[in-house]
Amino acid sequence: MLLSAPFGEILWSMKVMALNHMLVLFLLLVNLSFYGNVAAQKKELGGSFIFGDSLVDAGNNNYMSTLSKANIPPNGIDFKASGGNPTGRYTNGRTIGDLVGEELGQPNYAAPFLAPNTTGKAILNGVNYASGGGGILNATGRIFVNRIGMDVQIDYFSITRKQIDKLLGESKAKEYIMKKSIFSITVGSNDFLNNYLLPVLSVGARISQTPDAFIDDMINHFRAQLTRLYRLDARKFVIGNVGPIGCIPYQKTINQLNENECVDLPNKLALQYNARLKDLMAELNDNLPGATFVVANVYDLVMELIKNYDKYGFTTSSKACCGNGGQFAGIVPCGPTSSICTDRYKHVFWDPYHPSEAANLILVKQLLDGDKRYISPINLRQLWDLSS
């Protein structure tokens, strides 16, 4: 009897300990199951394939003999990934394409197609085909001698497409392209600025082509280009329309405008093209099964920044931070001899043509999570989450 009480207490303690261990094990299994399900449900990242012009060029023009280059200081001065050295991006920091990739969880920036190290598994993160001076039409940007237009950019993607087949096998490659990858295209501005609106090279074209005919030509070419990408298994598209190109520092400077004025003709052409582009996107959404074409309303987004710059913390939306010539530093492109503003995050425009990183950050926020005023029919985060 003297031993029974301690022995009973020992047995009771052992039972309690066993129950506690079972409870801990149960909770551990529940947690593992939960996190396992979350991991299984987490969307596997695909590629970010970027096409277009200098607004999103990540350095392709570095590898060509061309007059359009940005691999000179102070371009890239705020680009942390390069330690502030120029990379060929036409801004002080990250482009819209860089920022979208970051927000969607891409581990690395989409590398320039022409860069020697854009090979092997590196292409599965995405590839950038954009080229400063490039446009929809092959004649666009010829003043720069060399540039990569949309037709050639798609030629380059077809090479990448075959490489992905070899890396993943045809079946997995098709799923990776169709269901997990986004195709971003920012093009059209140069077709006006460095083609139709050029007084020297395009006088004949402007005499022989009305604005309607020229824009018809652009839309017809773009339709064929996007359809070609679709046939290469692209399914998720985001297409930027043309911004208010009559309001850039270059146009304001050469036309000797006041700070709050914009050049009328370029903006009218942009709006006319944008209306046609919207119709084209609706047409392709109807006629290309499984594809989703999203329109980024760059025109209204940038115009909002230009008109209400102080609301967003900027001190000017007229003067280029880096440039020379005229009231708005809008004639000479950004380079080592350019004047440069002391506070780069207070300027909407980095140089005579391109937004600053600070402006790009605001634009990207609206593209990712904004409403149908700025991106439609769905935003970029919703597009990324689509399973085609």
Length of the chain: 388
Measured CA angle at 385 (ends 379, 387), to 5 deg: 125
Q: What whole-number distance in Å separates Cα of residue 296 and Cα of residue 317?
A: 21
Catalytic residue among 78, 131, 354, 356: 354
Q: What whole-number distance in Å separates Cα of residue 6 and Cα of residue 125?
A: 66
221 flagged as catalytic:
no
Catalytic residue among 53, 57, 191, 351: 351
Q: Residue 211 in contact with residue 122, Cβ under 8 Å?
A: no
Residue 74, preceding peptide bond in cis (omega within 30° of 0) = yes
Q: What whole-number distance in Å separates Cα of residue 210 and Cα of residue 207?
A: 7
Strands 182-186 and 322-323, by their bridges, are unpaired
Q: Residue 262 in contact with residue 328, Cβ under 8 Å?
A: no
Structure tokens at 339: 């004047």
Rounded to 10 deg, the angle between the 150-168 and 211-231 helix axes is: 10
DSSP conformation class of 301: H
347 flagged as catalytic:
no
351 flagged as catalytic:
yes
Report the DSSP beta bridge partners of residue 111. 127
Q: Residue 235 in contact with residue 179, Cβ under 8 Å?
A: yes
Strands 292-296 and 375-376, by their bridges, are antiparallel
3-state secondary structure (DSSP) of residue 387:
coil
φ, ψ of residue 387 in degrees (nearest 5): -110, 100
Q: Return all residues near 99 (Cβ < 8 A) that are at least 6 apart.
A: 360, 361, 364
Residue tagged 């029919």 (tokens): 377
E strand map for 60-100: none
Catalytic residue among 48, 53, 54, 317: 54
Q: What whole-number distance in Å separates Cα of residue 339 and Cα of residue 326?
A: 12
Active site residues: 54, 351, 354
